[in-house]
Structure 1
Amino acid sequence: MNIVLLGPPGAGKGTQAKLLREYFGLWHISTGDLLRKSIADGTKLGSQAKEFIEKGDLVPDNLVVELLKERLAQPGIEKGFILDGFPRNDAQAGILDAMLKKQAIVIDYVLYLEADEPIIIQRLSGRRVCKNCQQNYHVTNMPSQKDGICDTCSGLLYQRPDDREEAIKNRLLVYLRDTKGLVDYYKKQGKLLKVDANFDAPIVFDGLKKVLL
């Protein structure tokens, strides 16, 4: 089973991807993680991507697709995967399909996590991140034992600038603008499955299992 996971920031894609991976035994392929690892390892693709990131530019689609290609060529991929972070628009979806076709890989389902704006704002504005180890916390849902201090490494917790309310609203506007065509693209293919992500993670996961099983 091969899945593309879509949803606005704050919909809980990372949490649900982890639950799907554990329950179904799938690989979780995050393009963000692939980029970070490739840059940290100093690979050729990572070095090329780093140049764009340091200039504040988006990493070109062809580089992201090449990273995905390498990952999908590794042994064990036949178990199935969850793709998170790509595609972000219908043009990228077309590029992805062309690459997968060459590798005889088919996307079975596209899961779209839907969440209302007030829920997303509550989730993201309450998020705190450790400056040292990047561990995530939430001021109400998952607070650290000591206020402002990471339980894991005692690093300082902070609020990312893009987790402030005005920034979240802007991110949502951009996301909805860019993904409208993407949703239509997969709807036409008959692969799109929408799931209500306004609830706590276990309830959302139950919804995912219902549409998949």
Structure 2
Amino acid sequence: MNIAVLGPPGCGKGTQAKLLAAHFGLKHFSLGETLRMEVGKGTELGKKTAAYLKEGKLVPEPIVLDLFRAYVSRNGDQGHILDGYPRTLVQAEALDTILSLSAVVLFEITEEGVQSRVVGRVVDAQGRSYNLDSNRPPAGVETKRRDDDRPQVVQERFRGYLAEVEPILSHYRRRGILLRVNAAGTIGSVLDQLLVGLGRAG
């Protein structure tokens, strides 16, 4: 089973992707977390991508495609949850030649809903996300705010996402594997929607 989870920044797809990975026993791939990890380590890839992430811009396709191919070559025999990937039609078309997707989940939420969530979002040293209002970090865990969680950056990322996502949705709609989910609810209610929808898709 291979599932792609798509949605705007701050919609909760990362949290749900990890829950789905645990539920179905799948490998979790997050392009955003992988890129931020490279930045944190100061690798050559991290240096190339740091400026793009700080400004909320998409990382160039060649870097993204090379990173994803390397991930699949290391983990190709397992099922996968692709968290926020593919982000462009070019990536979606390349993905078709690498993995066969069982379903593509679209998290739907307004820009206002995203902004209200991002206000309380923090991450720990491993990149795990928490929300100071709805999903607080465990006691003793040190957290910080991400550079790309500033309101103006979130706005730019949200609008950039809308411009990029429609061709991707059309691509998967034609294949009949697109599942829409209302992402505005609680973590539990969104997960319930996912499990019901994916059960039907399967």
Q: Which runs of 5+ in 2 are unaligned?
A: none
CA contact (8 A) 1:52 1:58 kept: no
Tell me the residue number matched to 1:28: 28
Residue of structure 2 aligned with 1:107, choices 98, 101, 104 = 101
Task: Determine which structure has greater relative contact order: mean sequence separation of CA pairs < 8 Å that are 6+ residues apart, divided by chain length.
Answer: 2
Paired residue secondary structure (1:78): coil
Residue of structure 1 aligned with 2:48, choices 47, 52, 77 = 52
Aligned residue pairs total 195
Residue of structure 2 aligned with 1:119, choices 113, 116, 122 = 113
Shift of 1:171: 2.2
C-alpha separation in 2, matches of 1:55 and 1:206: 37
What is the TM-score normalised by the length of structure 1?
0.76
Paired residue secondary structure (1:128): strand
Tell me the residue number matched to 1:205: 191
Q: 1:115 to 1:25 in 2, by over 3 A?
A: same
**RMSD, matched Cα:** 2.9
- The farther-off stretch of 134-143 and 111-120 is 134-143
Q: Which runs of 5+ in 1 are unaligned?
A: none
Paired residue secondary structure (1:168): helix
Shift of 1:108: 1.4
Shift of 1:38: 5.7
Shift of 1:72: 1.8
The one-letter code of the counterpart of 2:160 is V
Shift of 1:139: 3.2
CA contact (8 A) 2:7 2:84 kept: no
C-alpha separation in 1, matches of 2:26 and 2:123: 27
Tell me the residue number matched to 1:95: 94
C-alpha separation in 1, matches of 2:123 and 2:113: 19
Structure number with larger C-alpha Rg? 1
The one-letter code of the counterpart of 1:86 is Y
Once the two structures are superposed, what CA deviation does each residue of 1:50-85 show, in whole Å capped at 9, x if it has no partner?
A: 35225648543233223222322235x434101123
Tell me the residue number matched to 1:187: 173
CA contact (8 A) 2:36 2:46 kept: no
C-alpha separation in 2, matches of 1:51 and 1:152: 27
C-alpha separation in 1, matches of 2:32 and 2:116: 24
Once the two structures are superposed, what CA deviation does each residue of 1:141-176 show, in whole Å capped at 9, x if it has no partner?
A: 23468xxxx7224x6x4x445434344333211111
Instruction: Please say if 1:152 is aligned against 2:151.
Output: no
Tell me the residue number matched to 2:69: 69
- The farther-off stretch of 8-17 and 60-69 is 60-69
